[in-house]
Amino acid sequence: MPLDFTLTPEQEDIKGLAHEFAEKEIRPVAAHYDETEEFPWPVLKKAHEVGLTPVSVMPEAYGGGGLDIISNMLIAEELHWGCAGIAVAITGTGLAAAAVLAMGNEAQKRRWIGDFCNAKTPVVGAMGLTEPGTGSDAMAIATTAKKVDGGYLINGAKQFITNGGIADLHVIFANTDPTIGAAGIAGFVVEKGNKGLSMGRKEKKLGVRASHTAQVILQDCFVPTENRLGGEPGDPDAGPGALGALQMLEYSRPAGLRPAASRLRQADHQARGHRLQAGGHGDQHRCRSAAHLARRLDGTA
């Protein structure tokens, strides 16, 4: 049976809203934020007001919009069409929210997803899994969380973290018992103002420059026991532990891939404009290649 990719009327509306937002609110300021590498706070606030931040896909039970995953991808694609860097700044919080959703117990979801769904102002999240020595091999992280009286002491460093060091809430992955390998991995919520968490080097990037990517340093960072996502092993409502990190990636990766299609759409659009100005044969060839790739990704070629 063929898969049906026809959008529902509601999904068409959401796509239209996100496209209009990208055209009116993102495109006009994209060059400014790309050049200055400033965090686009005013655009993020407007996106939050109209419901285009990751809050829109959080469950209604915790104050979110309850949208489906396809709608999430449509929003991500349209925002990235406006500017990939600003889009990452708007959607980056979704990683931390997805981690709380995948790993948190009921009380934690109510508390922190509830925070992310704050109607008045965007609450920015960051998710720290990658480390200087660990990327794709995420289960090999070296950051530790040592059990101490009333909580945990986290020590280590995180690399390439979106919103790292500027977020209101960081979800940090650390190993509570390296002797048992990946089974010891857990997620911890580190709240703003915790002196054990600091920002390291902010990356200077070739692309997505309006998004903030930085190292996060954890030095004897104390977090209370109730900030361990899913609680302690053996708790009646204990979360999935390390498996939760993979569930978080599973949930957030589709919205991270769909923007590739919009970047090709954007490249096609810009190449066409360039061809009209330049008119050379080499340019025409590059334009056709970009247009063809864009159509293939959209499923129209």
Ligand X SMILES: Cc1cc2nc3c(=O)[nH]c(=O)nc-3n(C[C@H](O)[C@H](O)[C@H](O)COP(=O)(O)OP(=O)(O)OC[C@H]3O[C@@H](n4cnc5c(N)ncnc54)[C@H](O)[C@@H]3O)c2cc1C
Interface with ligand X by CB under 6 A: which residues?
95, 127-130, 135-136, 160-162, 208, 213
Judged by beta carbon, residue 214 or residue 291, the one nearer ligand X is 214
Judged by beta carbon, residue 169 or residue 271, the one nearer ligand X is 169
CB of 177 to ligand X, least distance (A): 21
- Alpha carbon of 18 to those of 52, 202, 278: distances in Å? 7, 29, 32
Residue among 197, 196, 180 at smallest CA distance from 241: 180
CB of 92 to ligand X, least distance (A): 6
Residue among 222, 173, 187, 167 at smallest CA distance from 100: 187
Can you list the positions of beta strands (E) in the chain?
A: 125-128, 144-148, 151-162, 169-175, 185-191, 197-202, 213-224
Judged by beta carbon, residue 135 or residue 150, the one nearer ligand X is 135
Judged by beta carbon, residue 143 or residue 227, the one nearer ligand X is 143
CB of 128 to ligand X, least distance (A): 5
Residue among 255, 260, 259, 262 at smallest CA distance from 95: 255
CB of 138 to ligand X, least distance (A): 7
CB of 203 to ligand X, least distance (A): 7
Task: Give residue number: closest CB to ligand X.
Answer: 135
Residue among 50, 67, 201 at smallest CA distance from 122: 50
**CB within 8 Å of 124: residues ≥ 6 apart:** 44, 92, 93, 163, 166, 167, 168, 169
Judged by beta carbon, residue 146 or residue 205, the one nearer ligand X is 205
Sign of CA dihedral 240, 243, 245, 247: negative
CB of 288 to ligand X, least distance (A): 28
Check: CB of residue 122 under 8 Å from CB of residue 45. Answer: yes
